[in-house]
A and B are shown apart, each in its own frame.
Chain A
Amino acid sequence: MALATRTARGGRPERPPPTPVRLWRSTIGKKTVMAVSGALMLLYLVFHMLGNLKVFFGPDDMNGYAHWLRTVGEPVLHHEWFLWLARVGLLAAVVAHGVAAYQLSRRDIAARPVGYRHRRARTSYATRTMRWGGVILALFVVWHLLDLTTGHVNPNGEAGRPYENVVATFSTWYGNAIYGVAMVAVGLHVRHGFFSAAQTLGAGSVGRDRALRLTADALALVLTLGFLAVPIGVTTGIVE
């Protein structure tokens, strides 16, 4: 029970490890990695959602937009380079986010090895579902890529014709179901994730707490509704 009377820090430790190592080793550092990668993905989601809404302007608009994405940056960038840069960046963000989340989760679970007999759920639903929500989203992304990027599991699966592929996906019951669940998960994940990232990056303060929470709620709602608008449009026949 006695306190450790001699810790490693009799004087200052010899030489602190390099900053990135120190960052990655600490819980706050890993959370920072999650916050930054999460913010990148969130930014991507906002643009993705706006692009998706082009579906309401008809096949030409949508397919034209998809084509434009491949030509962004020309002539400085080669054809599709921008797209691939973005994909590499996103992949890095996903990997960093996932690895950090995995390591932190293991740590967190180890820090509370014995639970309480008297259980009561007191944290919010969004907070409690961060881990499994994240796993669901990761699985969804795999399906989503096979469906609408590579076309492997798409009923239509025609390259260069995203409008038609989208309509095909949302004409199936399972397409709607998978997508619907995932978009609710996105909303919940963003709702807690945005606030959490702001806290982690040091943006929180007593006066700002409420504003941050409201922003997170609004962002989550807009993203979920924006993304859900597409399958709803297809199902109701507004988009065909």
Chain B
Amino acid sequence: MNGTPFAEDPFARTPSAYTDYRVGEPVVDTKAPEGPIEERWARRRFEARLVNPANRRAHTVIVVGTGLAGGAAGATLAEQGYRVLQFCYQDSPRRAHSIAAQGGINAAKNYRNDGDSVRRLFYDTVKGGDFRARESNVHRLAEVSVEIIDQCVAQGVPFAREYGGLLDTRSFGGVQVSRTFYARGQTGQQLLLGAYQALSRGIAAGSVEMHPRTEMLDLVVVEGRARGIVARDLVTGRIDTYLADAVVLATGGYGNVFHLSTNAKNSNATAIWRAHRRGALFANPCFTQIHPTCVPRSGDHQSKLTLMSESLRNDGRIWVPRERGDTRAPADIPEDERDYYLERMYPSFGNLVPRDIASRAAKNVCDEGRGVGPGGQGVYLDFADALARLGRETVEARYGNLFEMYQRITDEDPYRVPMRIYPAIHYTMGGLWVDYDLATTVPGLFAIGEANFSDHGANRLGASALMQGLADGYFVLPATLADFLARHPHDEVPRDHPAVTDAVSEVTDRLYLLLSNNGDRSPESFHRELGQLLWDACGMSRSETGLRKALERIPELRAEFWRRVRVPGSGKSLNQSLEKANRVADYLELAELMCLDALHRAESCGGHFREESQTPEGEAARRDEEFTYAAAWEFTGPGNAPVLHREALEFSHVHPTQRSYA
């Protein structure tokens, strides 16, 4: 499909029943070379143009975000000799939310000799993504995975090791090989510190100009090309324009649109949403991942949700009372009045069914009124059997730190009382549409890591987020970006170019509007309301009626926001309410697109479950005939119907099958 548009529209038979959007031209990835899938990445790198080392200093690249993808990219580009301007809203690049990833990082090293290979990792990832990812990209990810481990070890990342001094691996997320490298429960932290340290070296050497506590508020597009960003210094309130030859967004996912998620409080969607408004297509926004084992919320004050490693399901048994409204203490509920629903429904996988299935089942039993804990939003994860079988010592060795964390939050002792868990938004597979080169549809704008719609299709496997972030940042982007820079000579953009000044005044106007509104509701209250709305309509389970209702309500809420929001203080100094309000304003637009995407995709796949599309057993049913494509949306103006551009997906190496765990 190299460069050739579709001869005929393969989607002609797809019913476009909804009037909320228009269908535009298909979008095509023209960068992945043809030929055997194993050779595509090597070919692409060979065909890529290079930038002469002596000329690299003359090229400025903006990198927004300092997580695994952004930190790795900034450090690598600086090492190669480019001038890097890097931004993060945190006070230090070391605090990006990649730091909170617990489990591990996959790599097809096959150190265990247990049958792993690049091919198998590729296969597992495509299948795990429920056949909604691009094969070429996923294969490259699997290839690059082995280099990541080498790179990180060389940087001093203290991975877990065995007594012989070699790296330890474990099996993770239900795969049959042990390919997950880990550093206790802090793998994300250790990998991020590795990237941060490499970046710090670049900063000290003067090759990276670091701007912490600076938030990107808009993209500057000059004559169709991304040429810079408008950013606000969060301490002084100063709005500045930064110009460059290319802009790389590594700003993470948009899970915080749900208000409660496992994301960091300040993780936000502003950078990618602003880029979307400036012309970058946004792909598969409804593909969100829900993690089944989070600590349930304890009240209205709840500000975020804490994830507990999935490994708990290896030994814990999940249950709820058989009868609804049973408020007895768990210990008082006799065995025959408990419903171990996962074991009952999925006898062969039991408590180890994939994340989306476990999450949905928990939601269903809670919707039936059988949930436990405050508000009935929780299910038990019981270790009584494991404690009796293995003894406290073994359980402590396996899960001690998690039990401690749970007890710290809930003040309940999981050794005595069953844990309570509930699913929470955890990761977003959707994001800015990118081609094989990780380039968006705006020339000169790249998106890496969770910010792009990436390699995970409709569902991400455990321990693959870290892999993708580092693959993009260390290895893929630096190669493809050079090709772009070499092929696209440019002139300096004058600072008074209308495109620049327009972007600045748009940003300042918006902030002024927020500050001068003088309403009566806090930004947080809107965020909370939107989050609840979205969680109900576009969370674990989605239906046409629910989504349509949400699509009606969101514009109303948005209007109310602009009418009633109140932001105290000024824009001339640190003002966290202003930051929040500005982010919520974008969530109010993004949420609508998510619902629309969820509505248009009238199939269930991966993390996207449509109640109308189920198997007779009540499992997710894909509709490959109609929906084997990535949905890339074009922004056409606030409140206007977006345009859908479909990218057809071909599966010539992994054949689509329906998942079954019964």
Interface residues of A (CB under 8 A from B): 1-3, 5-7, 9-10
Contact = CB atoms under 8 A, between A and B. Distances in A.
A3 B213 contact: no
Interface of B: 203-206, 208-214, 233, 235-236
Contacts of B203: 3, 5
Main secondary structure of the interface of B (DSSP, over half): mixed
Given A1-B233, A1-B235, A1-B236, A10 B206 contact: yes
B206 A5 contact: yes
Contact of A3 (B212, B233, B236): B212
B251 to A, nearest CB: 19
A7 B203 CA distance: 9
A220 B302 CA distance: 53
B210 A3 contact: yes
A1 to B, nearest CB: 5
A1 B206 contact: no
Give the 4 A-B CB pairs with smallest separation, nearest first.
Answer: A6-B206, A3-B210, A1-B235, A5-B209
A234 B486 CA distance: 93
Given A3-B212, A5-B209, 18 more contacts: A1-B212, A1-B213, A1-B233, A1-B235, A1-B236, A2-B210, A2-B211, A2-B212, A2-B214, A3-B203, A3-B210, A5-B203, A5-B206, A5-B208, A5-B210, A6-B206, A7-B204, A10-B205
B94 to A, nearest CB: 12
A9 B206 CA distance: 9
B579 to A, nearest CB: 15
A2 B233 CA distance: 9
B257 to A, nearest CB: 28
Contacts of B211: 2
B201 to A, nearest CB: 11
A101 B235 CA distance: 38
Contacts of B210: 2-3, 5
A6 B233 CA distance: 20
A7 B201 CA distance: 11
Contacts of A7: 204
A82 to B, nearest CB: 53
Contacts of A5: 203, 206, 208-210
A20 B235 CA distance: 42
A202 B214 CA distance: 41
A107 to B, nearest CB: 24
Contacts of A6: 206
Nearest to B574: A1
Nearest to A6: B206
A9 to B, nearest CB: 6
Contacts of A10: 205-206
Nearest to B233: A1
A57 B638 CA distance: 100
8 contacts: A1-B213, A1-B233, A1-B236, A2-B210, A3-B212, A5-B206, A5-B210, A10-B206
Nearest to A10: B206
B156 to A, nearest CB: 20
Nearest to A11: B205
